Structures are given as C-alpha cells and as structure tokens.
C-alpha cells in the first residue's frame, strides 16, 4: 500500500476548514485528523482543497484555433491546455467541443473529431495531468449537428451534452440591437452584410432547432449523458429544459430564468470570469448576484482557466455569510454531483485524493502543488 501524509494544512472540508493532517493511501483519502502531527510533508499552513472540477471550458478549442484560419496540431493543443488547467488547480475537466457546421466552419466534424481523438488518445496513453472528458456543445440551428452528435457521443469519454442556440434574437442576445453592437466590429462586416447574416441565421433556426433538440435530447438519454441547457432567458425556456430532463442550466441570462431553474431542481452554472469581472461580458445577469440570492450551484472557468480558483476565493469577500467551504463547493462538490462523479469533489475518507495546495496569504490564490489520485501532477 502506497501512503502519503500531509500535515500542518488548512484543510477545507465540506462544512468547515480545519487545521490538521491528511493521510492518502492508494490514491484515496484514508484519514483526516485535526491538530498537529509530527509525520508527513509540512504544508506550512497553506490551504489544502479538493481538486477543481470544470464542466464547460472552451479553452481546448482556443489552443487548437489560436488565430482565425490557424489550426494547431490537436495533441499539442491538448497538452498546452492540460498544463494550464492543471496549473490552475483543475483535476477533472470536461473539454467543450462544438459540433454543428456553419458558414465560417463548414467542415466542423473534421475539427471536432481531431479534438475528441486527441483527448481520447491522451487519456488512454496516460499523458495528461488532469482527467479529461468530452462535453459536446450542440449548436441546434446547424443542419448537420445530429450527424456530428451520433459520430462522437457513444464513447466513455463523452459524459455531457449541452443544447444551445446562438441565433441572433434568441437567448444570449434577445436584443438584435445588442447583438449588432457586440459583433459589428468583431465580424468586420457592413450593415448590409451583417443584416444578411442575421437573416440567414434566423432561417436556420426556424428550419432545424426544434427537431435537432428533440433528436439530441432523446439520444443523450439513451446513452446516459448528463444534459445541459444553454443561455435560458425565459420561464418557457426553463419549462422546456425541465420537460427534456435537463440536469444543468448553463449561463441563464435573466433572474427570472435562474429562479425558475432553481425551482425546477436544475443545477445552475455560471461563468467564473463573470464573478472576477463583476459582470457579464454580454450584459446579462451577474453571477455574484445569483450567489447572493442562493441561485448559483456551479462555476465554470469558460474561457480563463485560473478564473475558477480565483472566483471561489473571491466570493466569500463579496457575498455576506458565504464561507470558503460553500464557495469552493461551486467548483468541486456541486459540479461532481451534477456530472454523476460521486468519487470526487470533496476531502472525505474514501474519496479520490485529487488535491490542490493553495498559498494561504498571497494576494491571489496561488497554486503551489496539485495531486491527482495521490500522484503529484503540477
């Protein structure tokens, strides 16, 4: 039996933070003890927290496509992404891979297959620091998204699917005026070209969204995947999600939708960058306001991996009555529960020894070491 002991740590448990020691045996937590210990590695009073669990990050795609028209070697992109997430304290990551072609990327399946295969081969080869799963981001207005889903969903590495519709005038951008302001400069198009683009996207929504959602939801249930609904904005959106057996409400855009999702028993996920910045980048509801209202369960790093840890340590300062255990649950226990991973997400006997050492007195939560199943990975 391999055994490791850490002592002189501030151990963040599910309901309290204690000073003490922890014993790890065969990759699992064997014992937790309060008070001083004379044996083991001295953590010098630093925090010891559960490994973070990330359910929705676009970061792998950003490494694969670092510039418009530039596609990096997929396994190299994965290694760069893996190093960054592990260095941010993330020991379990669901890599979001978008499926469904559009005018900008008409061969989306080719790219998605490369990324998914990189994750599978990297995991099977034992080359990765964090444990990686696939989160299929299903763009419903796309004509071929169901075909892509069928090609990639039926594999042990795929654990989560989100149904999303980024049609202008829907969900994230209910206001077409807001959409035009947000994308006019980014897309570099004239007013006439932008309007033609909007008209085409709305036509695709009318043709494909509803039937694609039904097909993907039904197949996801057959495969036992967790399902997330994306950018719900209205009570009707939440009612549809509830009827579809959705488990996670990703990035609800209004207080109305978040409240309805909470009442329906959905786990509400918001972006950690929203917490760090104090607001949504697209003008929607503040994640911190949802925490204060008791309407947020899970944080996701979305597009900045370190934001996950940073936000968890920021929240107790910003939300009265919230302690560190409760804040860290949004990036550990709660996402584990929503994704059906009952072997991790908290420091408790029998759980996986996925652990992060965090400097106690730095201005930001500095990651000093990361262990996955008791083995140091960063």
Average pLDDT of span 227-250: 95
- For residue 201, what pLDDT is reported? 79
User: Is 217's pLDDT higher than 60?
Assistant: yes
What confidence score (pLDDT) does residue 98 get? 96
| 183 pLDDT above the threshold of 60 | no
What mean pLDDT do residues 53-63 have?
Answer: 96
Q: Give the model's pLDDT for residue 284.
A: 73
The topology under which CATH files domain 1-50+344-378 is Urease, subunit C; domain 1 (2.30.40)
Q: No. of H helices and E strands in the chain?
A: 13, 16
pLDDT tier at 173 (50, 70, 90 boundaries)? low
Alpha-carbon gap, residue 69 to 90, rounded angstroms:
29
pLDDT classification of 100: cutoffs 50, 70, 90: very high
Structure tokens at 238: 């939440």
Structure-model confidence comparison of residues 197 and 131, the more confident one: 131
pLDDT value for 136: 98
Fold exhibited by the domain 52-343: TIM Barrel (3.20.20)
3-state DSSP: the chain helix, strand, coil percent, rounded to 5?
40, 25, 35
How far apart, in whole angstroms, are the C-alpha atoms of residue 228 and residue 94?
13
Work out the average pLDDT over 157-182: 73
Q: Outline which parts of the chain fall under CATH 2.30.40.10.
A: 1-50+344-378
Q: Boundaries of CATH 3.20.20.140 in the chain?
A: 52-343
Q: Model confidence over 296-316: pLDDT tens digits?
A: 999 999 999 999 999 999 999
More confident residue, 181 or 335: 335
| Mean of the per-residue pLDDT values of the chain | 92
pTM of the model: 0.92
Residues 6+ apart with CB under 8 A from 314: 275, 276
């Amino acid at each position: 039996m391999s055994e490791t002991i850490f002592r002189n740590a501030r151990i963040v448990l599910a309901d309290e933070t204690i000073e003490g020691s922890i014993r790890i045996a065969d990759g699992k937590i064997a014992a937790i003890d309060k008070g001083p210990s004379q044996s083991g590695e001295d953590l010098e009073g630093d925090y010891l927290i559960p490994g973070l669990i990330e359910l929705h990050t676009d970061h792998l795609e950003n490494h694969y496509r670092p510039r418009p028209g530039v596609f990096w070697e997929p396994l190299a992109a994965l290694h760069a992404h893996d190093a960054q997430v592990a260095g941010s304290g993330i020991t379990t990551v669901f890599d979001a891979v978008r499926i469904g072609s559009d005018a900008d990327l008409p061969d989306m399946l080719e790219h998605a297959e490369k990324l998914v295969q990189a994750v599978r081969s990297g995991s099977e080869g034992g080359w990765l620091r964090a444990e990686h799963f696939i989160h299929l981001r299903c763009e419903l207005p796309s004509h071929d998204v169901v075909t892509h889903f069928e090609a990639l969903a039926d594999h042990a590495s795929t654990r989560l699917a989100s149904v999303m519709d980024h049609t202008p005038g829907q969900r994230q951008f209910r206001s077409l005026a807001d959409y035009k302001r947000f994308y006019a400069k980014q897309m570099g198009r004239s007013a006439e070209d932008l309007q033609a683009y909007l008209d085409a996207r709305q036509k695709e929504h009318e043709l494909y969204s509803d039937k694609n959602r039904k097909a993907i939801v039904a197949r996801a249930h057959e495969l036992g995947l967790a399902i997330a609904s994306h950018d719900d904005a209205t009570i009707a959106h939440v009612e549809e999600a509830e009827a579809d057996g959705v488990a996670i409400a990703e990035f609800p855009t209004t207080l109305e939708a978040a409240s309805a999702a909470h009442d329906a028993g959905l786990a509400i996920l918001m972006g950690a960058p929203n917490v760090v910045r104090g607001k949504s980048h697209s003008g929607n509801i503040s994640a911190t306001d949802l925490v204060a209202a008791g309407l947020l369960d899970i944080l996701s790093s979305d597009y900045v991996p370190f934001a996950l840890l940073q936000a968890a340590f920021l929240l107790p300062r910003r939300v009265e009555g919230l302690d560190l255990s409760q804040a860290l649950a949004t990036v550990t226990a709660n996402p584990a529960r929503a994704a059906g991973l009952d072997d991790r997400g908290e420091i408790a006997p029998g759980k996986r020894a996925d652990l992060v050492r965090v400097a106690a007195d730095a201005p930001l939560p500095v990651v000093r070491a990361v262990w996955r199943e008791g083995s140091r990975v960063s």
